[in-house]
Amino acid sequence: MKDLTWIRNGLIAHRGLHTIDKTVPENTLLAFENAIKRGYGIEFDINVMKDGTVVCFHDPDFKRLCGVDKSLSELNFDEISSYRILNSDEHIPSLKEVLDFVDGKVPLLIELKPLGDNSLLCSRFMEVMKDYKGVWAMHSFHPMTVYWFKKNHPEIIRGQVTEYFKDDPKMKRITKWIMKSMILKIFTKPDFINYGVKDMPNKYIDRQMKRGMTVIGYASQSQEQFDMVKKHYHNSVFEYFLPKQSK
């Protein structure tokens, strides 16, 4: 039986406990250290580089965070060793480095962001995760990533991340409907749903709640948002503030 108690009830810091002024950058060991000190679970993003190294990084390229106009798929891990995030001293860590750093101290909610070969990302990810002893779960926007885990590692807790995608002009209307309605969950069978806070509450997740599905939100940026999500659903990952648990 999969234990989702920590996803339903724990405090989970989005991309680590980073700061709005960017002095503590997202998805860095410093952000993770801050979360661990407070006993928070950590949500973070991963992707795979040209040489197959799985790294903790959100974007498809290094422009926003490192000021380098190169994509992850263009470079090997050793080529980014000098990159620093948002003019800080923080580097881009590999997934292995993150796991060694956290070492089971807090639960990990890991988002897979497939920007190319989905199977490569999933398989490389599991190669690194196979010996990790801490508590963790995966989630992803991409239904095929969630399906890969259903097919290949059904024992692992898997989540579907989604929203309304109102701000994405490139996404087709039918694709937006497929994603926001989560119609593909009949195939992917996620253990939980992580929905965009800006689109909560809504009828799609209300329906899933009635069916007993675990529903959380991302990412509350204030106590007011956090409390709103907790009022209707189970939990919300958070950023930029220190939440108090709703009664």
Please tell me the predicted confidence (pLDDT) of residue 115.
Answer: 81
Q: How far is CA 228 from CA 206, 222, 225, in A?
A: 14, 10, 5
3-state helix, strand, coil in the chain (%, to 5): 35, 20, 45
Beta strands per DSSP E along 10-88:
12-14, 41-48, 54-56
pLDDT-based confidence at residue 247 (cuts at 50, 70, 90): low
The architecture in CATH of the region 5-47+97-238 reads Alpha-Beta Barrel (3.20)
Q: Which of helix, strand or coil describes residue 60?
A: coil
pTM of structure: 0.97
The predicted-structure confidence for 131-157, as pLDDT tens digits, reads as follows 999 999 999 999 999 999 999 999 999
